[in-house]
């Protein structure tokens, strides 16, 4: 493989071309700029990457000119946050796990082949549900070429500029907590229906807290526009059911808020909680830091 390929962000270029073709000039300008800056970091002296960088710069200039002529589009901005849905769920299981996941990731035990296979099955199930229920949905993560910091801004852009739209990985931030909902469907009246897809066949404690923090953040962001919040559960091998949980999640809002504030404080103080090993190491999930805690115990 040519050495310059490590500096060529093909995904960003492809997504930028798609955005430009759809008149989303702010998005195309952002991604062309990211790809151009990365390629310009190539330290070699080959002519081809330099020519490609020139072509990218030309595309960037054209895109920015088009953007300047279409100022009705909202500029994308880089967002920050302190807590995610996944870290919230880890904190509910064990405050020490929350801390280690932030400050000692290198101590994490790598996932087993069985775990990776389960993740792959989950992604396949998720893709199947999405394509069946909302075949025309827009995947925020793919459209932004995995430029994570812009997901929230791009989600807002799409919602503000479309009367009705369906988004996958819709990204919302509230109280310094970031969540990415599997499916968001907005109707012509502005009502919002949210769906989280799980490979499980029943609602577990971990899933309930996963949904609780997502509902808390989207409710804080959209208020009464949130019409429903559901989980899609697997039924057998090839089917699923949609379970509406809004009322149940409403009951957990106060506790969810309190947990979020506590977890943010733990991360801010950056002091490892002194928690001994116990049942929480395996419930509701097997903790990635059990080996670390076991070694410290000895």
Distance (Å, whole) CA 201 – CA 241:
9
Q: What is the domain-level CATH number for residue 173?
A: 3.90.320.10
Q: 204 Cβ partners below 8 Å, 6+ apart?
A: 284
* Shared domain check, 189 and 226: yes
* Shared domain check, 106 and 61: no
Give a yes or no: residue 298 inside a domain.
Answer: no
Q: Which two tokens stand for residue 31?
A: 């991604």
pLDDT of residue 75: 64
pLDDT of residue 19: 83
* Shared domain check, 133 and 23: no
* Shared domain check, 201 and 126: yes
Kindly give the confidence (pLDDT) of every residue in the chain, 298 residues in length, as a single tens digit, with 9 standing for 90 and above: 567 778 888 888 888 888 888 778 888 888 888 888 888 888 877 788 788 888 989 998 898 888 777 655 556 788 999 999 999 999 999 999 999 999 999 999 998 999 999 999 999 999 999 999 999 899 998 877 767 888 999 899 899 888 999 999 999 999 999 999 999 999 999 999 999 999 999 999 999 999 999 999 999 999 999 999 999 999 988 899 999 999 999 999 999 999 999 999 999 999 999 999 999 999 999 999 999 999 887 5
Give a yes or no: residue 63 inside a domain.
Answer: yes
* Shared domain check, 226 and 116: yes
Determine the length of the chain: 298
Cis? peptide before 70, omega within 30° of 0: no
pLDDT of residue 288: 94
* Shared domain check, 153 and 55: no
Contact assessment for residue 158 and residue 142, using Cβ atoms and an 8 Å cutoff: no
3-class secondary structure per residue, 30-84: HHHHHHHHHHCCCCCCCHHHHHHHHHHHHHHHHHHHHHHCCCCCCCCCCCCCCEE
pLDDT of residue 27: 84
DSSP strands (E only) in the chain:
83-84, 138-139, 165-174, 177-186, 192-198, 226-235, 239-244
Give a yes or no: residue 215 inside a domain.
Answer: yes
* Shared domain check, 89 and 64: no
* Shared domain check, 9 and 115: no
Give a yes or no: residue 77 inside a domain.
Answer: no
* Shared domain check, 256 and 111: yes
Domain that holds residue 13: 3-68
Query: What backbone phi and psi angles, to 5 degrees, belong to 127?
Result: -60, -40
Give a yes or no: residue 224 inside a domain.
Answer: yes
Distance (Å, whole) CA 277 – CA 93:
12
* Shared domain check, 163 and 18: no
Prediction pTM value: 0.80
Distance (Å, whole) CA 273 – CA 96:
5
Q: Which of 190, 194, 191, 213 is nearest to 133 (CA)?
A: 194
Distance (Å, whole) CA 5 – CA 197:
35
Query: CA neighbours within 13 Å on the CB side: how many for 188?
Result: 0
Give a yes or no: residue 297 inside a domain.
Answer: no
Give a yes or no: residue 140 inside a domain.
Answer: yes
* Shared domain check, 55 and 188: no
Q: Please give the tally of structural domains in the chain.
A: 2
pLDDT of residue 26: 80
Contact assessment for residue 63 and residue 241, using Cβ atoms and an 8 Å cutoff: no
Distance (Å, whole) CA 82 – CA 176:
5
Give a yes or no: residue 288 inside a domain.
Answer: no
* Shared domain check, 90 and 51: no
Q: Which two tokens stand for residue 42?
A: 């190539």
pLDDT of residue 49: 76
């Amino acid at each position: 493989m040519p050495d310059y390929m490590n500096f060529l962000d093909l995904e960003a270029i492809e997504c930028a071309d798609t955005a430009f073709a759809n008149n989303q000039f702010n998005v195309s300008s952002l991604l062309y700029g990211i790809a151009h800056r990365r390629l310009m970091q190539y330290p070699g002296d080959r002519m081809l990457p330099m020519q490609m960088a020139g072509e990218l710069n030309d595309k960037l200039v054209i895109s920015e000119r088009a953007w300047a002529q279409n100022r009705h589009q909202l500029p994308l901005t880089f967002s920050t946050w302190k807590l995610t849905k996944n870290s919230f769920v880890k904190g509910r299981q064990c405050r020490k796990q929350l801390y280690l996941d932030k400050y000692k990731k290198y101590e994490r035990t790598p996932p087993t082949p069985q775990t990776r296979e389960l993740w792959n099955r989950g992604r396949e199930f998720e893709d199947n549900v999405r394509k069946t229920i909302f075949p025309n949905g827009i995947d925020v993560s793919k459209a932004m070429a995995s430029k994570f910091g812009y997901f929230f801004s791009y989600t807002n852009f799409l919602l503000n500029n479309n009367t009705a739209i369906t988004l996958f990985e819709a990204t919302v931030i509230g109280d310094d907590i970031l969540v990415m909902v599997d499916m968001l469907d907005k109707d012509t009246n502005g009502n919002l229906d949210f769906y989280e897809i799980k490979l499980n066949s029943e609602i577990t404690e971990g899933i309930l807290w996963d949904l609780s923090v997502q509902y808390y953040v989207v409710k804080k962001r959209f208020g009464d526009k949130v019409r429903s919040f559901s989980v899609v559960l697997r039924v057998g091998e090839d089917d699923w059911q949609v379970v509406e949980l809004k009322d149940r999640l409403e009951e957990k809002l106060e506790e969810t808020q309190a947990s979020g504030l506590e977890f943010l404080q733990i991360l801010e103080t950056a002091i490892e909680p002194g928690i001994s090993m116990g049942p929480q190491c395996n419930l509701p999930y097997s903790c990635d830091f059990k080996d670390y805690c076991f070694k410290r115990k000895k």
